[in-house]
Amino acid sequence: MKRKAILASWWLSVLVFAMPVAQAQDQTTDRRGTERVNFDSYTPPTMYDLARERRQNWAPQPVWGYLTVPQKKEKVPAMVIMHGSGGIESNTQMWVAALNRIGVASFVVSSFEPRGITSTVVNQTLLSPAANLMDGLQALQVLAADPRIDAERIGVMGFSRGGEVAFRTAIEPLRHAVIKSDLKFALHIPLYSGCNQIYWSHQITGAPILNLVGGIDDYTGVASCERLASLYEGAGAQIRTIKYDHAYHSFDATYGVKFLPNAPTTIPCGVVRWEIDSWTIYSELTGGILDPAALPEFYRKCTKYGVHVGRNTAAATQARSDVVAFVQQVFFGIQPTQQENQP
């Protein structure tokens, strides 16, 4: 869902290669710079395998993330950042810097590179979305065990495919399938998330959600994300959707608007919803129940190709302000009027 890009060189110049997670957390004492933190995750082949805890099918997978911690004496809040279909892109630098400036650590998870994947832009089946979700929940546990991080103030934000992680980690049955304690994310920020294939339960964690969408997104769509937000709101979530006019998918990218002729979009397929409790699959397009075996043919008939992605400077600038305001309000209790008066 995001165009492949080269990881910004700024990361390579400050990277500190850490030891495996438990040791890395014990021995990392420098609060400056960026550390590569290795940790253990899994690759469930399907979301069903994750949700039903079929752990015999969870293939162990070493992964890593890039951790940047502000130089503070006290424990700091943190944000897990989940990349999109192009992997970690150069726009991530802007988000890390913005969070660092307000005293929030960032942990940018790399789900593709450890698995030998560079991009899923033209083929989303290269990696099950369950693997991205697993990585996000494992990353939460890694941060919660870090003595520099306040375990009760850890959020998650994600772009496109990573935005799905930001949404799904608020679903209690999915969270609890991986994390058996009460540990949960304190806030969720999906940016131009995929919202056309959803896994749903009315049991949610209750953490606040900020849903950011591009007004002319022809890749993952707009209306489906607005309807998904309504589902969360109906389940009791505090959720706000902000739509940026004239913005395509990846509106915070560092490159201009481009057309990707081979990128598939399932917008014409309508929303397909998996009810987690019964694992019944509902199709918005047909109005009926889908047989899992019929899904490949269903998507073959309705999937279209050719989408736009790229920067809208006004949207990117406003999104940064909106994210910072939301994070400051949830993590620090700073209200918008107070933020306006800060230097």
Closest to 252 measured CA to CA, from 96, 110, 33, 106: 96
The model's pLDDT over 66-95, given as tens digits with 9 standing for 90+, comes to 999 999 999 999 999 999 999 999 999 999
Report pLDDT for 343. 44
- Look at residue 267 and tell me whether its pLDDT is greater than 50: yes
The model's pLDDT over 271-318, given as tens digits with 9 standing for 90+, comes to 999 999 999 999 998 999 999 999 999 999 999 999 999 999 999 999
- Look at residue 19 and tell me whether its pLDDT is greater than 50: no
Of 32 and 106, the one with more pLDDT: 106
Report pLDDT for 282. 98
- For residue 274, give the DSSP letter: E
Report pLDDT for 340. 52
> What is 147-195 written as a DSSP string?
TTEEEEEEEEEEETHHHHHHHHTTBHHHHHHH--SS---SEEEEES---
Report pLDDT for 336. 79
Asked if residue 162 lies in contact with residue 82, where contact means CB atoms within 8 angstroms, the answer is yes
Asked if residue 35 lies in contact with residue 66, where contact means CB atoms within 8 angstroms, the answer is yes
pTM reported for the whole predicted model: 0.90
Partnered with residue 87 across adjacent β-strands are 84
Across the chain, what does the average pLDDT equal? Answer: 91
104 pLDDT band, cuts 50/70/90, is very high
Q: What is the biggest distance separating any 2 CA atoms in the chain, rounded to whole angstroms? A: 58
> What is 15-43 written as a DSSP string?
EEEEEEHHHHHHH----SSEEEEEEEEEE
- Give the residue-averaged pLDDT of 125-147: 98
- Look at residue 335 and tell me whether its pLDDT is greater than 90: no
- Give the residue-averaged pLDDT of 38-44: 98
8 pLDDT band, cuts 50/70/90, is very low
- Give the residue-averaged pLDDT of 203-219: 99
d(Cα 331, Cα 318) in Å, to the nearest integer?
A: 20
Partnered with residue 105 across adjacent β-strands are 78
**Domains with residue ranges and CATH for the chain:** 9-258+308-335 (3.40.50.1820)
Report pLDDT for 33. 82
22 pLDDT band, cuts 50/70/90, is very low
